[in-house]
Amino acid sequence: MNSEKSEALYRRACRVIPGGISSNVRANWSPLPLFYTRGKGSRVWDADGNEYIDYVLGRGPLLLGHSPANVIQAVQIQLEQGLMFAGQTELEILVAEKMCELVPCVEMARFGSSGSESVHAALRLARAATGRKTVIRFEGHYHGWFGNIAWNFAPPLDQAGPRECTNLIPSSLGQLPEEGAHLLVLPWNDLPLLENVFAIRGKEIAAVITEPIMCNWGAIRPLPGFLEGMRRLCSEHGALLIFDEVITGFRVALGGAQQLFGVTPDLATFAKAMAGGMCVSALGGKADVMRLFGELKTVHAGTYNANPPAMAGALAALNLLSENDGAILKKAHATAMALMQELEEIAERTFLPLMIRGVPPVFHVSFLPKDAKPVVDYRSAQQTDFALTRQFWMELQNHGVRVTPEGLWFVSTAHREQDVDQTLAAVVEVIAILEKERRNKS
């Protein structure tokens, strides 16, 4: 793979942009963070002209593929009408109405530009609504990079503490201990532990926030009864249940993971798939809670909130996803399912411990020892052979298939059978390379 131009751009970028990247999440790419020039449908091209079948899809927003025509057209129309007004547009009503129609918990919605912001709004609202301080979050879940929630995403296991009494570990230098002071961090998928915590501290808990599928550590599903138990405990103790559906929203079902699992939270955050690649996020939920923002004592603000071109993109994306009873989303699910099944078959044929798990159209491909215990939370996910998973990713990139370095694959409505066939051919070649290396080593 030729990366001369990307290398030159990277050197230039490093002079004026710290690390040469605008989000630390992009640092993890080898041999260097590549530069991209164009994307269309399921494909993306880098600065050196290399073409990839893209399963990164902007880390999720491009559920409709790169440059979806209807989103672009809707945005263009709005660009001609005006970029922003610091005032309302009908577009935001239409997007909120659409969300109310599709998502079980949404009776009202407020908009922002990033998932982190909407999570921030959710936490503030939950504390304002309950008059309580403590928020329960789960180890290994990602809810954005803000100081009051970015804790224990990837704690080193030797510092994480006992399961029932985890140590608070910030994600970044510069976070103050006070910012995490009102967080309780628990391992996920452990209902008895959550029950215990509620039994002891139930009166002080404002909210429980969870990814309903643990996408950011390998697309781990909730164990049967876990989300239901969480719902029950929150209701019994007067705490709010917040689903962070920034990845799952409008993707695993039109109504998100809450619809898929039949568990309705009080509040939910959305971004990524809701706007076809435009910068939009949303907080939605029960009207009696959301109304607090309208009473103005609880502040939610932002110059770019409900930005008209972004709202036009969101409306176009949601309309397209939901027309004909979600026909194109069903097609993306079928494509992802076919891909997952074929990958499973490859996994059965190789002696390498290839593991596929997830909920279409987002799934995780990694290497896990054959005798590994079930992966149900952050700690058990650490059994992953990260070095081999990373090598698999790098070889796939060399073979024109782009997935996230940690092994998460997103499938779009633009992926076709030909993409799947080409991807599987690349996977077979890459597995053969890795098998040969393993044999040579032993």
The yes or no reply on residue 151 touching ligand PLP (CB under 6 A) is no
Output the smallest distance, CB 352 to ligand PLP, in A.
28
Binders of ligand PLP in range 29-68 (CB under 6 A): 59
The yes or no reply on residue 116 touching ligand PLP (CB under 6 A) is yes
Cβ neighbors of 17 (< 8 A, separation 6 or more) are none
Part in contact with ligand PLP (CB under 6 A); list of ranges 13-21, 115-123, 326-334, 432-440: 115-123
Q: Which residue is nearest to ligand PLP (CB)?
A: 115
Options 142, 266, 378, 419, the catalytic residue: 142
Q: At what angle do helices 308-349 and 90-102 cross, to 10 degrees?
A: 30
Give the C-alpha separation, 178 to 309, whole Å.
38
Output the smallest distance, CB 89 to ligand PLP, in A.
22
Helix (H) or strand (E) run with residue 36 in it:
strand 36-40
Give the C-alpha separation, 366 to 406, whole Å.
8
Q: Sheet with 108-112: list strands edge to edge.
A: 108-112, 281-285, 267-270, 240-244, 205-210, 134-138, 183-186
The yes or no reply on residue 143 touching ligand PLP (CB under 6 A) is yes
The yes or no reply on residue 258 touching ligand PLP (CB under 6 A) is no
Output the smallest distance, CB 111 to ligand PLP, in A.
13
Question: Which value, in Å, is the radius of gyration of the alpha carbons in the chain?
Answer: 22
Active-site residue 142, yes or no? yes
Options 46, 54, 272, 419, the catalytic residue: 272
The yes or no reply on residue 413 touching ligand PLP (CB under 6 A) is no
User: Nearest-CA neighbor of 23 among 73, 59, 65, 57?
Assistant: 59
Active-site residue 330, yes or no? no
Pick the closer one to ligand PLP by CB: 35 or 243: 243
Active-site residue 272, yes or no? yes
User: Nearest-CA neighbor of 336 among 406, 400, 414?
Assistant: 414
The yes or no reply on residue 284 touching ligand PLP (CB under 6 A) is no
Pick the closer one to ligand PLP by CB: 144 or 180: 144
Options 190, 244, 377, 419, the catalytic residue: 244
Binding map of ligand PLP across residues 181-220, x = CB under 6 A, - = no contact: ------------------------------x----x----
| Maximum distance among all Cα pairs of the chain, rounded to whole angstroms | 68
Tell which phi-psi region holds residue 224, choosing left (phi > 0), alpha (psi between -120 and 50) or beta. Answer: beta
The yes or no reply on residue 115 touching ligand PLP (CB under 6 A) is yes
Pick the closer one to ligand PLP by CB: 23 or 418: 23
DSSP string, 273-318: GGGTTSS-EEEEE-HHHHHHHHTSSS----TTTT-HHHHHHHHHHH
The yes or no reply on residue 332 touching ligand PLP (CB under 6 A) is no
Distances in Å between the Cα of 234 and the Cα atoms of 94, 229, 240 are: 31, 9, 6
Output the smallest distance, CB 427 to ligand PLP, in A.
25
Strand stretches in 178-251, DSSP E: 183-186, 205-210, 240-244
Tell which phi-psi region holds residue 326, choosing left (phi > 0), alpha (psi between -120 and 50) or beta. Answer: left
The yes or no reply on residue 136 touching ligand PLP (CB under 6 A) is no
Which residues are at the interface with ligand PLP (CB under 6 A)?
59, 114-116, 119, 142-144, 211, 216, 244, 246-247, 271
Catalytic residues: 142, 244, 272
